[in-house]
Homo-oligomer: A and B are copies of this chain.
Amino acid sequence: MTVLGVDIGGTKIAAGVVADNAEVLRTVTVPTRASEGYEVSIGQVYKAVEECLDGDVAAIGICSPGPLNPKTGVVLHTPNLPWRNVPLAELVGQRFHLPCKVDNDANAAGLAEALFGAARGYSSVFYVTLSTGIGTGIVLDRKIYHGKNGFAAEGGHVTVDYRSPLVCNCGNIGCIEAYSSGTAIEKRFGVRAEELARGVEAGDPTALQRLDEICLALGAWLGSMISLLDPDVIVIGGGVARIGDPLFERLRRITPTRTINPFAADTPIVPAALGDNVGILGAAALVLA
């Protein structure tokens, strides 16, 4: 059996046929054409699917920008696309006569890491993507935890300082995303995450001090996540995680000191394993799990 994974981004849509062993058999990429309106951009989604589809594909999974309701497959609205209350799962499913599921990228990536990647074999997974924003996914027994409204696992918007001067992208204050995301690094330090990574690699003291600051907030936040969720494993992906060992070493050191859980030091904090294909694999995982 194969499935189709479709990863919708603000600038491009990537689709891929994925075997149930997570092998990506072929991929297609088309521009999103978001600025040309709803009809054009939804047409690009159909186009990506059509170009990949063959008779063996049993289902379609889609990662979409959100907020969206994964239970109904409706995308409520999204800053990156001219979409509002789009019943994406229904539209794509009916058009291609296949089962279709939609979820956000962090949930899908978390599921893919749980099924095929760094969290394979673990039953409870807290997945983090440290990127422009901070997305998270909670996977329990190979299923994404969605909560009542399908809006659970927005861990990037957990407050780490309830009287913070820092305003988050979401409009709230004190979210971890306002402290340690790519956007936060730019806002707080005036450098891009890649520059920070280069500085850290070169041993630049300012870069290292900034990394310490980011990791202090992240470690306290991960400690809270362990106090609350006691997961089997924490997996961290996303562009900011490319800082690599210096980031992971700090998080592994700080996190167990910021939780009441006496076994926290035994909870692995590991890099994501799926790399650039995580979008397509995440989307595919939605209909493989």
* Residue A26 is within 8 A (CB to CB) of chain B in the complex: no
- Interface centre among A146, A152, A175, A224, by most chain B C-beta atoms within 10 angstroms, is A224
State in angstroms the CA–CA spacing of A151 and B138 once bound together: 17
* Residue A157 is within 8 A (CB to CB) of chain B in the complex: yes
List A202-261 residues whose CB lies under 8 Å from chain B.
216-217, 220-221, 223-225, 227-232, 257-261
Chain B residues near A155 (CB, 8 Å)? 227-228
* Residue A189 is within 8 A (CB to CB) of chain B in the complex: no
Residue in chain B with minimal CB distance to A216? B162
How many A residues face the partner with a CB closer than 8 A?
48
List A155-179 residues whose CB lies under 8 Å from chain B.
155, 157-163, 170, 172, 174-175
* Residue A67 is within 8 A (CB to CB) of chain B in the complex: yes
Query: Contact check: which of B157, B216, B259, B263 meets A227 at CB < 8 Å?
Result: B157
Query: Contact check: which of B147, B160, B174, B260 meets A157 at CB < 8 Å?
Result: B260
State in angstroms the CA–CA spacing of A78 and B32 once bound together: 58
A158 touches B224 (CB 8 A): yes
* Residue A44 is within 8 A (CB to CB) of chain B in the complex: no
Known: A172-B260, A227-B154. A220 touches B149 (CB 8 A): no
Residue in chain B with minimal CB distance to A217? B162
A261 touches B154 (CB 8 A): yes
* Residue A200 is within 8 A (CB to CB) of chain B in the complex: no
* Residue A153 is within 8 A (CB to CB) of chain B in the complex: yes
State in angstroms the CA–CA spacing of A9 and B224 once bound together: 27
Chain B residues near A172 (CB, 8 Å)? 223, 257-260
B227 touches A149 (CB 8 A): no
Residues of A at the B interface (CB closer than 8 Å) are 67, 76, 124, 136, 138, 146-155, 157-163, 170, 172, 174-175, 216-217, 220-221, 223-225, 227-232, 257-263, 266-267
- What 4 A-B pairs are tightest by C-beta distance, nearest first? A147-B230, A162-B220, A152-B230, A157-B260
Known: A157-B227, A159-B224. 4 other contacts (CB 8 A): A149-B262, A158-B227, A170-B260, A172-B258
